[in-house]
Amino acid sequence: MTTTRRLPLLVLVLALVASPACVFIRRDVGRPFPDDQQLETRLQLNLTTKAEALGWLGAPVSVRQQFDGDLLIWHRSFEHSESIVIIPLITFYLDTEGAALNDRLALLFDHDGVLTGIGLEREVPVER
């Protein structure tokens, strides 16, 4: 290959190496929780059974036996980040911004499998 033929290839390779890159990442773990009104309607203290809650919400991420019953915990996390890299191969400049949020739902059932307590946290920021 002659030098004049290599020049366009070299220019193309240098352009690709030196061009800025953007990366967008979105990650969801777990199913979104129903809205507050649906939770309030479907989860009734001293009425809703463990079987009803499991049928509606699906499998929890954690089940803990308590002295007065079982604590079931559901968790959902959402993460979004944006990065820009100038001159990617040597990482001349890298800037990343983003947010990570968690939703947590905890339900306490007595020994008979009846709902006795509800704990809900929505969009809790994750420490980075």
- Mean pLDDT on 90-116: 81
Q: What is the CA radius of gyration of the chain?
A: 25
**pLDDT tens per residue across span 47-90:** 999 999 999 999 999 999 988 899 999 988 877 777 766 655 55
55 by DSSP, 3-state: which?
Answer: helix
Phi, psi of 21 (to 5 degrees): -130, 145
Q: What pLDDT was estimated at residue 72?
A: 96
Q: What pLDDT was estimated at residue 15?
A: 62
The dihedral over CA atoms of 115, 55, 39, 29, expressed in degrees to the nearest 10, equals 110
**Is the model more confident about 105 or about 95?**
105
Question: 68 near 110, Cβ under 8 Å?
Answer: yes
Q: What share of the chain is helix, strand, coil (3-state, %, to 5)?
A: 25, 50, 25
Phi, psi of 53 (to 5 degrees): -65, -45
6 by DSSP, 3-state: which?
Answer: helix
For residue 91, pLDDT over 80 is answered with: no
List the domain boundaries for the chain. 3-125
Q: What pLDDT was estimated at residue 76?
A: 85
**pLDDT tens per residue across span 5-39:** 677 777 666 666 556 666 677 777 777 778 888 88
Detail the DSSP E strand segments found in the chain: 21-29, 62-66, 69-86, 93-109, 115-125
Q: What pLDDT was estimated at residue 1?
A: 55
Burial (CB < 10 A; 0-12, 13-18, 19+), residue 19, is exposed
